[in-house]
Structure 1
Amino acid sequence: MKRWIVLLIILCGGLAGCQATTANPATSDSRGVMTKHQVLNLATVRPLTTLDADKMTTFGRLNNTIEGLYQTNRDGQAALALAKSVKVNAAKTTYTFTLWKDSYWSNGDLITAHDFVYSWRRALDPRTKAPQSDLFRGIQNARQIITGRLPAQRLGVQAVGNFKLVVRLDHPMAELPQKLAYPLFGPQNEAVAKKYGKKYATKPEYQVYAGPFMVSRHGNTRNCWHMVPNPHYWDRKHVYLQRINVKVYHNQRKAWADYLAGKLDEVRLLTKTNVQHYEHKDDYTARPYSRMVTISYQQYGPSATINRLLQQRGARLAISHAIDRKAFARETYGSTSIPAQGIVPAGLSRGMRGTADFANAQPEQQTLKYQPQTAKKEWLAALKTIHQKRVTLTLSYQDDANGHLMATQLRRQLTQQLPGLTIHLRRLPWVVNTRAQPLNGDLNLSTLRAQYADPLAVLSRFTSNSTANTSYWSNADYDRLIEQASTAPTFNAQRWRTMLRATGILMAEQGVTPLIQPASTYLVNPHLNGVQFNTVGTQSNFKGAYFVK
């Protein structure tokens, strides 16, 4: 049975106007709910740089062109997508996926198990240099491939015929389905990649797509690009938008003006002032998302004196205790952001009975409390250890809408509370689609995003062998606990407690200092319906989006 017939039965239970499933998406449905003009206009701050999923660190709107074995559903959980079924062996180290036989690339080619094998091996190939290759750790031999000890062909993934994919693991991984919903694990068309060689995925005409949309070959410039429905997508009848226009805005005021003039259907509110001005409007929305603003410490930089300072737990605790996170949130992102309770964002993962949020349960939360007197004592003790009364630190930040504001607020708080501290700001250019970069300041302000719905999406970044651990903080007990959680066969209470113990060590040591969890705030056309907003991984799924009259 074709999948769209199965899905039609499911959708009719909850989607208004489901009669539209048999109509041409370019016309209104039989109940007259949808408008005839189904064109979505979106804004972005960055031009289209690559269509190669292996080269991306943030997928943005392009996640709508990619589909994998799983996809994230409206509840934030991993649901089977291109895979029809999965069987797991008793040891939970082998997953055998059976693919649907009616899934096609945008050029009409059949999507097969070989496309997944090619894609995953390619991501780990040293010639590709996929910036997020660490996500493959746990799949058989991935660790050795990443470190160059084995070739990518030894990765534990195998195609058995066209529609059976076998994935072997080094150890059980309870979080594997959540990981596989991330677009990095989608398929790639080997024939197309080899046909175009170095040109592959550099322009829309050199790429094909497995998702509900594809990037149009026409009308794309550095300042705008377009997505249109994939004519061969297996669930094409449930894709209602005729076109998605994405325009690059270098001036936020211009984006607001275009939204107010009806030329945009969604605009991001990036600063506290924007939020305060629009938060009482009917088209205002604040969406939670699993990201955390943090301070990372350069403990092995060019200055031996500063290294000795920042290698002290007491100095890092002093910095954390000197920060009034509520005030920091209020003065930067505004009322929609919340102070950190730990390194794992709120809403990322819940307990076995669905009642406990991991973020709320994190231990050592007192290390994140605003305690100015304690901070002063800890700081003076740390300075005494290095025989200094004064010290100058650099604070690096990314050149984005909130970067400078957050850096200046942080400098103000720290220099007011910590005696003898001077901070120089260092602005860094915004970079995407690169591996984690070496730290450029003594203190480094950045935003951490979870790629999948599990605490390990965050916690695994701070192990000694993680390429994302650019501060080189290291703790043997922490590494051991993360290894235990990573090899757990199921989401059981023991795994939960193990991860809580690990985050307790990280926070007690302040190996990284979490500050706030910002929400994503937008103005959205109130006639736009059916968008799936995710709290983890990729933010917006427009597959089922449509406009109503």
Structure 2
Amino acid sequence: MKKKFSFLLVLLLALSTFLAACGGGEDSSEEDSGDSGDKQEKKEQVLNLTESAEIPSMDTVLATDAVSFNVMNNVFEGLYRLGENDEPVLGMAAEEPEISEDGKTYTFKLRDAEWSNGDPVTAHDFVYAWQKALNPDTAAEYAYIMYDLKNAAKINAGELPVEELGVKAIDDKTLEVQLETTVPYFKGLLTFGTFMPQNQKFVEAQGDQYGLEADTLIYNGPFTLSEWKHEQSFQLSKNDSYWDAETVQLKEINFNIVKDVATGVNLYETGKVDLAGLNAEFVDKFKDDEDFMTNAETSVYFLRLNQKNELFANVNARKAIDAAYDKQGLVDVLLNNGSMPAYYLVPKDFVTGPDGTEYRETAGEFGGYDPEKAAEYWAKAKEELGKDTFEIELLNYDSESSKKIGEFLKEELETNLEGLSVSISQQPFKQKLDLETKGNYDMSYAGWGPDYPDPMTFIDMFVTGGSHNQMDYSNEEFDKLVQDAKSTLLSDEQARWDALVEAERILLEEDQAISPMFQQGKSFLQQEYVKDLYRHSFGADFSYKWTHIE
């Protein structure tokens, strides 16, 4: 998320307020904001933010991006939600579940909670949403994240009916969940958006309009999506029917969609927003300001190399691309925000292995900037393909920072790979995601944030036919390692860890399926009166349930 990391993570550079959303600025929360730019004492429980893109989807079973998951995390709630320090805390579950002796069956008791239309939240809402996500007719890209549920993979493949899924409503307030095998990170997984409930009666009444507007949704989280002006702004308002409404202090969260960093900074300096993301230029300007902050992230950005393209079907061409641009220069000059060059897929400082060693210390790094080696790979590729010139298109985001990165890549690749011509197609976020899903691109600047705390959240994206593969990559040995790590090796932690390390090595060192670019860092300005805004290293980027204005 996430952010899946984008997760995916995610998937845009956070150069407006860290992939967070933002909304309208008409309700000024300053005591006297004026136009002087002076800091004012803020008293109302209103938070003003920016977001870099429109919300692509508000259907929990269809969303795939960081922007959507961030909003959904704050207007919906699953069995658990992430609290401070990424700890899963009880959400719709009233208490910790009863777990069977073999660790495969969880029985949850649900609390008395309501949807924003007054309907009770029941166990049937979870059964309906989870079956919907896995129904092959839904074509949910994130269905695979539920494959730990009993029979989920077979149902998603059309081999079993959805009624055979290992989730059952014993009664309105009792949910039984059966797993294929034990899952060490299951509680964290249940915080993810795809595992949130849906009210079947309401969803079916909306038909194909469900989730397209603020009034074609109902909510069971701390906030409601009270206003949604597409491509302009959106607003969250406190949900008074939320079971823990007493904890929620913010009255409103306003998000304005701002794609230009300078505009976001100007809004911050004039008191119109409370947080503003920074790029290299503004980092230098504000690094000594008392509001300046940096935050290490677990999102990794990379180039997808679509093997449907004749050029990228060649491994030497892929290796040439990876070696032909300066990743250190990219983060030092263009980003300058705490990001670091990535010679890997699974990020640094994310998870540790069974022996307590950080994953990257065990797995090492791959590749590096080497124009001479890039030229050697390129010569081999041209010989093998029987051509001297190639034209490719880079699919890119439409933000200001992404444009600069695209221009940097074009110059580096055309300079170091003779005969290569790169054009750039900048697309709005939602359209870019759609083109990637359909495989209609040559090379794409993409990113991924973790959905749960395990290396698998990055590695299994690239299994053959995987919904997030999106580039026609396939390696039988890689697939087997991933499958074993999800099944037979779960009882042997070290062997499972070793399998994941080897799978990543095959992906990057052997096959160069993608070209990692950088691990994201964020530099930003944040008003000191904004308290307890929780930032997460996996799943949704932010939780506003506990945020308040001091």
Same fold (TM over 0.5): yes
Paired position in structure 2 for 1:261: 270
How many Å separate the matches in 2 of 1:196 and 1:393? Answer: 42
Question: 1:82-139: CA deviations, max 9, x gaps?
Answer: 2212233344332222223x33323333222111111111223355443422222232
Deviation at 1:491, TM superposition (A): 8.1
CA contact (8 A) 1:64 1:212 kept: yes
Paired position in structure 1 for 2:404: 405
Paired position in structure 2 for 1:439: 439
Spell out the pairing of 1:92-111 with structure 2 (5 A cutoff): 92-100=103-111, 102-111=112-121
Cα distance change, pair 496–234 in 1 and its aligned pair in 2 (3 A): same
Deviation at 1:42, TM superposition (A): 1.5
Paired position in structure 1 for 2:393: 394
Spell out the pairing of 1:361-440 with structure 2 (5 A cutoff): 361-363=362-364, 365=365, 367-431=366-430, 436-440=436-440
How many Å separate the matches in 1 of 2:139 and 2:539? Answer: 21
Paired position in structure 1 for 2:331: 329
Spell out the pairing of 1:301-316 with structure 2 (5 A cutoff): 301=309, 307=310, 309-316=311-318
Cα distance change, pair 497–385 in 1 and its aligned pair in 2 (3 A): same
Q: What 5-or-longer segments of structure 2 have no aligned partner?
A: 1-28, 30-40
CA contact (8 A) 1:131 1:434 kept: no
Deviation at 1:36, TM superposition (A): 4.7
Deviation at 1:203, TM superposition (A): 2.9
Paired position in structure 1 for 2:321: 319
Letter in 1 for 2:294: A
RMSD, aligned CA? 2.6
Question: 1:335-372: CA deviations, max 9, x gaps?
Answer: 4110113111223322346x533234324x2x322222
Other structure's SS at 2:537 match: coil
Task: Give the alignment's TM-score, normalised by structure 1.
Answer: 0.85
Deviation at 1:200, TM superposition (A): 3.2
Paired position in structure 2 for 1:249: 258
Question: 1:222-246: CA deviations, max 9, x gaps?
Answer: 6333222221222222111122122
Paired position in structure 2 for 1:203: 213
Deviation at 1:39, TM superposition (A): 1.1
Paired position in structure 2 for 1:44: 51
Spell out the pairing of 1:478-517 with structure 2 (5 A cutoff): 478-487=478-487, 488-489=489-490, 492-508=493-509, 509-517=511-519
Paired position in structure 1 for 2:281: 273
Letter in 1 for 2:482: I
Task: Give the alignment's TM-score, normalised by structure 2.
Answer: 0.84
Cα distance change, pair 491–526 in 1 and its aligned pair in 2 (3 A): farther
Cα distance change, pair 248–420 in 1 and its aligned pair in 2 (3 A): closer
Q: Which has the higher contact order (CA 8 A, sep 6+)?
A: 2
CA contact (8 A) 1:68 1:185 kept: yes
Deviation at 1:190, TM superposition (A): 2.1
Question: 1:371-391: CA deviations, max 9, x gaps?
Answer: 222222222122222233333
Question: 1:160-208: CA deviations, max 9, x gaps?
Answer: 1122212222333333322211122111122322343344333333322
Paired position in structure 2 for 1:448: 448
The answer to whether residue 482 in structure 2 is matched with residue 471 in structure 1 is: no
Paired position in structure 2 for 1:19: none
How many Å separate the matches in 1 of 2:384 and 2:209? Answer: 56
How many Å separate the matches in 2 of 1:224 and 1:396? Answer: 25
How many Å separate the matches in 2 of 1:386 and 1:141? Answer: 44
CA contact (8 A) 2:396 2:402 kept: yes
Q: What 5-or-longer segments of structure 1 have no aligned partner?
A: 1-25, 27-33, 302-306
Deviation at 1:328, TM superposition (A): 1.7
Other structure's SS at 1:41 match: strand
**Which structure's CA Rg is the greater one?**
1
Deviation at 1:249, TM superposition (A): 3.1
How many residue pairs were aligned?
504
How many Å separate the matches in 2 of 1:250 and 1:185? Answer: 30
Cα distance change, pair 380–368 in 1 and its aligned pair in 2 (3 A): same
Cα distance change, pair 416–225 in 1 and its aligned pair in 2 (3 A): closer
The answer to whether residue 196 in structure 2 is matched with residue 186 in structure 1 is: yes
Paired position in structure 1 for 2:239: 230
Paired position in structure 2 for 1:142: 152
